[in-house]
Structure 1
Amino acid sequence: MSDAVRPMLDLPLATAEFVAVDTETNGLSGDKCELTEIGAVLVGGGELHEEWDSLVGVAQPLGRYIQRFTGISQSMVDDAPAPEDVLPRLANMLRGRVLVAHNSRFDVRVLRQAFARAALEWPDPPVICTVQMARRFAPLQRRRGLATLAGALGIDVEEVHRALPDARTCARVFCALFGRLCANAPTIGDAITILGAKKVRKRPASVPNRPRGERPHLAALPHEPGVYIFRDADGQPLYVGKSVDLRVRARSHFTSGASWTQHAEHVDHTVTESELGALLLEDRLIKALKPPGNVKGKSDPDGYVYIRCRLDIPFPILEVALEPAVGHAVCVGPVRGRAAAAELVEQLNSLFGLRHCGRSMPRRAHPSAYGQMGRCLSPCLNDLDPNVYRERLDEALRLFVGKSGAAALLARVDDQIREASAAQRYERAAWLQRRRERLESLLARLGGVLRAIHTGARLVLAPHPSAAGRFDPIWVAGGRVVDWGAAESSLVDRSMRALKAAPPAGRLGGWLSADAVAEARLVGAWIALNKPPTLELGPRVGEAQHERFLSRHGFVLHRGEGERGLASVAG
């Protein structure tokens, strides 16, 4: 970097101007590589401004493959201006600004070589690479091609392998990650330092040295919710944690005596808007990084359980478990209290004549006690049509496919009471009335949501633990988190994508993969415990409904904008 450009490194990153650049070439390597097209987009204040592009003439004919790949034909470059006529415009655009490129090493090498051939001075601007930004600030996104990364960040990609569209996409990716970069790097020089080092082998000059045995420098951690990663001297992750107060929680580890703290040299962090956002990010980072300091926690940390029914076995049963079932199943909850959930299962089995005998169904010569009382269809006698049992089971499970399983269950018992009274079966009506009273008491104790988790799609606003009007938007569909956090696209567009990910209305059973179970339980338990603002999504839930929902909870949605367009009206 030249001495003329070096003072730029001390300028504030937040107020700097950037030029996102993309180049197309003839596809050859080394000295044979020639520039065929340049695209540049001016970026400032997190927004895209001036755009410019130009084809560039070449000395050697283009190969057929590269013409098909880029769409730049031989006739196009034959009519294009020479490099010495194009490159001065780019040099003027780069002066006093930071060059941004996706895989910047390639683009900078191509441009340096083109400037040298044209006998022009390379402006040598500071360079930021969006691949390095993604590696640092979107670590769960393993595939970092430009179009793939943009899609993961919610950015629409209309055209690829042409200079200006790719430069525009690069600029939007940069804007999506720019806030996280500014939070970690106050100046341009700090940003280049943070993104440039592959391994952190020594502490940055801005962090004072500390004697061995003292904790890492934690003053940069904010008093905000989020996730932190402790690393050793080589940058390898040691421990991933989350907290509603990053600085306080990170400091507490060095009074715990954990063995990994002896090797902790650095700490990275990501701020979220809510505790749920921190829980999600922590869970995903632990799965991705597998740090040695993280061990499996206790088996039932929150007291919530699921009532579930696996539909891929003959004569399915209702059971109580800590987690949703993997594969094809109906999972209801989470609800608080294993004993109350088990009693509710027993009540349902008796009401609908379902099996009481657990997964292993013994073969009997005579009905069980439940069968003799008319409370079980007795498939254990080996003479029951599985379709008859399945119809009764589906009748029970459909109570939980709607929005209010508790009310539907009580209404079902009320109907049975009326039927028994009309048939003058007064003993059964009295028994059902006692059962209804017991069910009502059970449902009040369970304190959860009696609804199959795979049904519908919803937008959940997870609030900031202390700041009014700040939320993490989280979309849940099919029992899984399908989208969350800030992005460039609008809330309404993301809600419609979440709705498409949900199973059709009224379907019995949903599918959860093994790696999605822990996250589904984590999110479900947090929502059941905290009862955050929730918007049920549907084909008719459009922008007006989103605006009313957000306004009711302290936000307004500006048209056509994403989370950047959410403005607090809480004061």
Structure 2
Amino acid sequence: MSTTASAYQATFEELGTPLRDVTFVVVDLETTGTNATEGGITEIGAVKVRGGEVLGEFQSLVNPGQPVPAFIARLTGITNAMVATAPDIALVLPSFLEFARGSVLVAHNAPFDVGFLKAMCARLDYEWPGFDVVDTVPLARRLVTRDEAPNHKLSTLANLFHATVSPEHRALADARATVDVLHALFDRLAPMGVTHLEDLATAADPVPPEVRRKRHLADDLPDAPGVYLFRGPGDEVLYVGTSVNIRKRVRSYFTAAEKRKRITEMVRIAERVTPVACATPLEAQVRELRLITEHAPRYNRRSKFPERHSWVRLTDEAYPRLSVVGAVVAGAAHIGPFVSRRTAQDAVHALHDALDIRQCTARLPLVSRKAGSPCALAGMGRCSAPCVATQAPDTSYEQVADAAHRALTGDPSPVVRALSDRIATLAHQERYEEAGEVTRRLRAFVSGAHRAQKLAPLAACAELVAARPSGIGDAPGKPGGWEIVVIKHGRLAATGVSGPGVNPLPLVSALRTTAEHVEPPVPPSPAAHPEETDLLIAWLDSPGVRLVHLSDTWACPVRAAGAHAELTWASERVRTEIATEVPTGMPTEIRTDGGVPAPENPRHVDTMTAC
């Protein structure tokens, strides 16, 4: 697969900013009360700092437009006489916002101060600039124990950290004291791995120090879509993941955003992270799946063993029967793959409930030399008993086998109809446990048939080239370009991204020439992990996809299992027929050889210029 880099502009947040490079504006307000909606501001004080250096200060009394309560005057020393000649908030607020522009606001009990500033902006019809905000109170609660300080008031913390200024309920003095407290808290956070602005968002949460200290593992990772591998001692692959931004996603593992205990355990063991940058998110998803299959990481819970998938096969015998197998063979009808053998067996039971197909496992000759003993199912009328045929082949069983073949590869309506009737009957008789069992079997059969009918056409297609406009869906590229994929027999063989305004056809030609060679599989099994083919099908079904080249017919039966896959299984009769929705004479496949395509069919071959 090509790893052509896509044009991607990382955001400021994704880049990660060291705390020493961040400009903080530490602000404190004095007000007429605690209600931001009804109260007013009497004083604003702020200190601008970066890298431990004071860059500037801002201080102004403010006329609140209402009397200063007596207890507020006693607390702050700000009287009505002092604010009577002070400027109105309409004059002070724009100056403060300009002073704080482009910085991160810091306050002790930030919801109070920021709440008043937002309320004043709303009152004056100003747009709130959307500052990032750091609150020193939760940081102090995380870092300062009760043994060190009885509480986390600003005055208590200023005394603990030997601040150069004592808070006195005046805005500028309190802001200066908060600066000293902030720097002292940063000193305590650094050994815990909190060294960037983005870390502060979760620094107040309880993250084990040994986990946070490994924050540096994400420092050199790319800001691009791709796959990341956590590696432990001996370079063992512990975990494989994917993201549209590798660096940002890996950073989250060292914060309180990660809640999974087993992943926290994995991070404790991890020694490094290996990135694999990819051209598109689709390639990242596919590579993740392949790496999980290859390494079987112990901390991944996704399916890692495609060889353990089960299929249901209609055997190729004189009198076919259903069998649960681990691989497909040419010339036989299959459904699946199923994630477990039990689910595959449920699908078999569903077919046995609906069709009189034999359940014995012996290989029967076309005509037996001597009559066999019919089983109990034959006595109940649920098997045509081909084992007893001695004079001529049992032609009635041929009809049963044909019905089973059609249910597996085409229209499952007879099976759905038969089991739906049984579910309704059992529910009417209040035999709900039995109805639930039949429902489970029916779901297993329909989902297995639906999956096989989706996989088979793509598995049989030697080459399919498709394109999707970049900048939509999960694609991070700029609008105007194209994501291009080459799929061979259900396997991603190449992918790349063309830039905006660039003719994509040369890239299409290059990708087709350099694409991975893929040996044809035995459909419906694709030449890749079935989950990889599922990813490709989902991508092909996403909005805006155009088919550029198709080597073979890509089609599904008109009356396929997919028509039943989304139905609600209940005690009521399940809707099974879609014949009224399909006009008579509609083609059952999509032609690429000059024939007429199905009406309103989105799968016709298109060209890039026509897109």
Shorter-normalised TM-score: what interval?
A: 0.3 to 0.5
What TM-score, normalized to structure 2? 0.37
Tell which structure's C-alpha radius of gyration is larger.
2
What TM-score, normalized to structure 1? 0.39
